[in-house]
Amino acid sequence: MEGLLVPVNVERLQVSLADAAAEVADRVLGAVGGAEDIGLADYVHTGADTTTVLGAVRLIGADVFAPHVLLGRPVHRDDAAVVARSFTVYPPTPQPTTRQQHVTAWRDWAVGRLLARTDETSPAGSDAAPTPETAAALLDGAKTWQEWSATAAQLSPLALPGVGGPIVAAVFAGMRPLARGVTRAVLRRDFVTAARLIRWMALSSSNGVRQPLDPVLLVERIRLYGGTGSRLALDLAISRVLLRMEPA
């Protein structure tokens, strides 16, 4: 039997996860744009590979709650159950040590924090707050603005109202590296990263933080020049709501 075993193609796994994440992002985008709920549970029942779908839910993270925190829509009980189940199937790292694990731990924390608003019990580990020291280490002012903005882009699912915490505070204190990072990403035509950083600008702007750049113009530029992809479209849609822009 040993000869029949085929090693799992990690790249294929990542493509499947990215495709499923795009589908989840489309559903969230539809909910932000007017649909009643996300329909995560429906997606699970479509016959797609359940493990992959749950992995995609973990990838999208706190953004699945965007319709709830941005527009006040209720979270469907079954959708909350899907989010909770995704943490059972893909459990958080119990003791994060590396930078990447700390980034993931903060993203998980945001999901747990928003999941706690629902009737669903947060799964073990998802709502355990990483220490504030790890937030300071991730977004340390001593880092180069390139490193700083790359980390801020990875933490962009936390750029939602109602998340709060030391990561949000650290980003709000870093408008200059944020603006540099956005400028660099736009010039590199890395619109995915740009859209993620613009979310931070939009959230901080909605909280009255003064901006070196105009996030409204940036959102329009990304939409016109590079606005393709489901997750990018979701990032832009979230920014539009935060900035009180008209729907695209």
Give 59-71 as a DSSP string. Answer: HHGGGGGHHHHHH
Gap between the Cα atoms of 241 and 239, Å rounded: 5
Identity of residue 116? A
CA distances in angstroms from 57 to 3, 88, 119, 245, listed in the order given? 34, 12, 18, 27
- Please tell me whether residue 50 binds another protein under the rule CB under 8 A: yes
Among 23, 30, 41, 220, binds another protein (CB under 8 A): 41
For another protein, the binding residue among 54, 62, 222, 233 (CB under 8 A) is 54
Is residue 48 close enough to count as binding another protein by CB under 8 A? no
Centroid of chain to Cα 80: 16
The answer to whether residue 18 forms part of the interface with another protein (CB under 8 A) is yes
Q: What count of residues does the chain have?
A: 248
| Position 192 contacts another protein (CB under 8 A) | yes
Q: In degrees to the nearest 10, what's the CA dihedral of 75, 81, 84, 89?
A: -140
As a whole number of angstroms, the distance between CA 224 and CA 138 comes to: 32
Minimum CB distance to another protein, residue 119 (Å): 13
Number of chain positions touching another protein (CB under 8 A):
44
Of residues 176 and 189, the one with the C-beta less far from another protein: 189
44 lies in the binding site for another protein (CB under 8 A): yes
Alpha-carbon distance of 34 to 60, in angstroms, equals 19
d(CA 216, CA 89): 39
Residues within window 56-115 making contact with another protein, judged by CB under 8 A: 58-59, 61, 78, 81-82, 85, 88-91, 93, 100-101, 103-104, 107
Q: Which is nearer to another protein, 14 or 207 (CB)?
A: 14
> Binding residues for another protein, per CB under 8 A?
8, 10, 13-15, 17-19, 21, 41, 44-45, 50-52, 54-55, 58-59, 61, 78, 81-82, 85, 88-91, 93, 100-101, 103-104, 107, 150, 153-154, 188-190, 192-193, 196, 231
